[in-house]
Amino acid sequence: MSDDESPREQPLAGGDTTVFDRTSNAYLKPAPNLTDDNLDLHMEGDLAFDAVFVTSPAIVNPGLGPVFNNTACVNCHVRNGRGLPVTGTGGVGSPALVRVSLPPGSGTPDVPGGAVPVPGMGTQIQDHAIYGYDPEATVTIAWTYYDAAYPDGTPYTLRAPTLTIETPDGAGLPPGAQTSLRIPPPVFGLGLLEAIDEETLIALSDENDENGDGISGRVNYVWDAALAEHVVGRFGLKANQPHLLQQAAAAYVNDIGVTNALFPESDGSTDIEEPVLEAAAFYTQTLGVPARAAWDDPAVIHGERLAESIGCMSCHAPTVKTGEHALAELSNQTIHPYTDLMLHDLGPGLADNREDFAASGGEWRTAPLWGLGLVQTVLPETGFLHDGRARTIEEAILWHGGEAENAKARFRDLDAEERAAVLLFLGSL
């Protein structure tokens, strides 16, 4: 610290919900500012999140399937972190999944503005099934490796997935079908993102790049199943869910085949009662956010300033203030999520070429970076980016393109010591 600088205050990643744990349990902690009653509700939600569903009829947790990707929330979001880029793990379930749809205009979406479902399959491939049923398809992931080098000659290798999708009848997907491999994102800190008011998000958008910085983030507008209208989207890898209750409800029905109050059976019945759905959503609302490590280390501060100078923070907004939320513990918090929750074009290298409401095939929601340095402490074999192709944070940076192309190019132009400093900073999050 130079003589003319004031001492830094510790940035609390999650405001009053920050937890001081940098172990493999870091994503599992409830927000420490919960009231006793809300902590009890959180623990009920924890049980719902861990519940393993089985084939009906059963005394406990019936309703699995008949087709599904996995049998419990926790089986994909292991220790509440990123899931593995793996499919087809026998009868237990797949951590990763594939979204699928037909091109816009080639059919009728289930909801206004939504993706056009593939007949007989919907908008997500369920690659497992209960006894007596066939899965919709089997999905195999193969990796292709690419060698490249920094301008200073330092070599690196990237990899990208290729999917093989086989249907039980051998016909395969219809011509033109769009697919998108996804790994489960982490689930901590989501209540704080829900508590950011819409006016703040809209203020962060710059759809027409009016400030001329080459960054044109925009809000996704998605279907709210309860309100039956379009609202601001903020959850999911393309911000295609408006709030955590619908995010949980969609995961129950699409990932596990468990119907619920928002997505019931055709006769209106459900596999789970509404309080169970609400408890699962409450759990994801009320998880704490891990505190940063070494935030006052001069080397980390140097890396932080380099990251800012090359343009990372144009999308990964370091600081946001939450607004009013039904949970007082989430309201009016100054947080450091390193996301603007906007859709940004990340270029052809990361494009899935699949539209999702307003999101184009090249756009993704800016991923929050809080807790980034703990991703592989929590689950060592997991990857980064939407499909887990990046095995390290460095590889994730090198995959950026589109609006982030200039920032990536500046990172590549840094010398090895400066690149290491940027990575040291990102690892402190």
Name residue 374's amino acid: L
CA distances from 333 to 220, 307, 336, 429 (A): 24, 24, 10, 18
Cα–Cα distances (Å) from 370 to 12, 96, 264, 338, 382, in that order, read: 10, 22, 35, 6, 16
Q: Write the DSSP symbol of residue 280.
A: H
Residue 39 CB contacts under 8 Å (≥ 6 apart), including other chains: 30
Angle, alpha carbons 128-134-135 (nearest 5°): 30
pLDDT score recorded for residue 7: 67
Query: Which stretches of 305-365 are assigned E, i.e. beta strand?
Result: 320-321, 334-335, 343-345, 363-365
Amino acid 2: pLDDT: 45
Q: What is the pLDDT along the chain (429 residues), one digit of tens a residue?
A: 444 456 678 899 999 999 999 999 999 999 999 999 999 999 999 999 999 999 999 999 999 999 999 999 999 999 999 999 999 866 678 999 999 999 999 999 999 999 999 999 999 999 999 999 999 999 999 999 999 999 999 999 999 999 999 999 999 999 999 999 999 999 999 999 999 999 999 999 999 988 888 899 999 999 999 999 999 999 999 999 999 999 999 999 999 999 999 999 999 999 999 999 999 999 999 999 999 999 999 999 999 999 999 999 999 999 999 999 999 999 999 999 999 999 999 999 999 999 999 999 999 999 999 999 999 999 999 999 999 999 999 999 999 999 999 999 999 999 999 999 999 999 999
pLDDT at 249: 98
Distance of CA 320 to the CA centre of its chain: 18
Class of residue 180 by CB neighbours under 10 A (exposed 0-12, middle 13-18, buried 19+): buried
User: What is the reported pLDDT for 89?
Assistant: 64
